[in-house]
């Protein structure tokens, strides 16, 4: 199955950031896209940007029934389901002992269960039709340590584990599974890590800290373009940009070096927060 010849794609978190850029890139290749987001107005704006083949829908990925019904309806309307991009997610950052339990629950509900709900809705349909590609958005933080971003790292490690395990199960049954693990990408999440009601006092400057760890944020358009090329080649774990792949390999080969670099960046950020 050629990534650019597929007919339909269902995208969660499509109202901004990676989801928006992804929806636009897919529609530009002639793919009919369902742009979904908890913010219906945002999804509708993106669908309008995508053109007449795109549709918009409000969707809270924490609701498994709503996710299943939305995916099944889209597949039924178009006669097939080529791609599901489980992309919706949020960020939570700070020192572990300063993050309230409600924040941990919220990020797990969205970043872990939201992805799982999409997988459990799409996978049976793809098994029945004998093809399809599930793409789950994780992060470089799902492949190694991420100090000051422990809740985010927790969820993204879970997404990586789910995706790489399902990929092996699904391969012989005609369904592809990939996990997208970018370093920091230039999206609104960099500036909206914590809701004000959580009152997290130790929240880092995400842009500053992630730049210190892995370089400046990557262009979202470039990230999506590289993602689509990797999907066309059926890559399982997609890490980008190139410097992020280097950091991933260094973490596997020299974990103590990565830990040392992380401690240094953490000390600098703690000092800046004082």
Q: How far is Cα 112 from Cα 106, in angstroms, rounded to an integer?
A: 10
Residues marked active site are found at 152
Q: Which long-range contacts (CB under 8 A, 24 or more apart) does 214-219 make?
A: 214/140, 214/183, 214/184, 214/243, 214/244, 214/247, 215/183, 215/184, 215/243, 216/184, 217/183, 217/184, 217/185, 217/186, 217/187, 217/190, 218/182, 218/183, 218/184, 218/185, 218/186, 219/185, 219/186
Taking the CB of residue 67, how many other CB atoms lie within 10 A of it?
Answer: 28
Q: Are strands 133-137 and 8-11 parallel, antiparallel or unpaired?
A: unpaired
Q: How far is Cα 270 from Cα 84, in angstroms, rounded to an integer?
A: 39
Confirm if 140 and 244 have CB atoms less than 8 A apart. Answer: yes
Taking the CB of residue 176, how many other CB atoms lie within 10 A of it?
Answer: 20
Measuring CA to CA, how many Å separate 256 from each of 146, 259, 261, 264?
14, 5, 9, 12
Q: How far is Cα 265 from Cα 271, in angstroms, rounded to an integer?
A: 10
Confirm if 175 and 123 have CB atoms less than 8 A apart. Answer: yes
Confirm if 87 and 35 have CB atoms less than 8 A apart. Answer: no
Q: How far is Cα 202 from Cα 67, in angstroms, rounded to an integer?
A: 34
């Amino acid at each position: 199955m050629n990534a650019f010849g597929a007919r339909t794609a269902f995208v969660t978190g499509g109202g901004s950031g990676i989801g928006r850029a992804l929806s636009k890139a897919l529609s530009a290749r002639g793919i009919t896209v369902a742009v979904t987001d908890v913010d219906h107005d945002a999804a509708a704006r993106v669908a309008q940007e995508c053109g007449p083949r795109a549709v918009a829908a409000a969707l809270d990925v924490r609701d498994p029934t709503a996710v299943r019904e939305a995916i099944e309806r889209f597949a039924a309307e178009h006669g097939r389901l080529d791609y599901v991009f489980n992309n919706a997610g949020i960020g939570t950052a700070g020192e572990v002992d300063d993050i309230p339990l409600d924040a941990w629950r919220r990020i797990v509900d969205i970043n872990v269960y939201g992805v799982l709900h999409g997988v459990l809705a799409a996978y049976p349909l793809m098994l029945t039709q004998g093809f399809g590609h599930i793409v789950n958005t994780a992060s470089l933080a799902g492949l190694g340590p991420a100090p000051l971003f422990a809740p985010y790292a927790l969820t993204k490690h879970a997404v990586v584990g789910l995706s790489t395990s399902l990929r092996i199960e699904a391969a012989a049954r005609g369904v592809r599974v990939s996990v997208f693990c970018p370093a920091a990408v230039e999206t609104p999440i960099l500036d909206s890590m914590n809701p004000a009601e959580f009152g997290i006092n130790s929240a880092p400057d995400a842009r500053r800290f992630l730049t210190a760890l892995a370089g400046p944020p990557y262009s979202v358009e470039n990230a999506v373009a590289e993602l689509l090329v990797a999907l066309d080649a059926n890559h399982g774990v997609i890490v980008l940009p190139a410097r992020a792949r280097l950091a991933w390999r260094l973490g596997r080969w020299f974990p103590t070096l990565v830990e040392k670099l992380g401690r240094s960046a953490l000390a600098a950020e703690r000092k800046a927060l004082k």
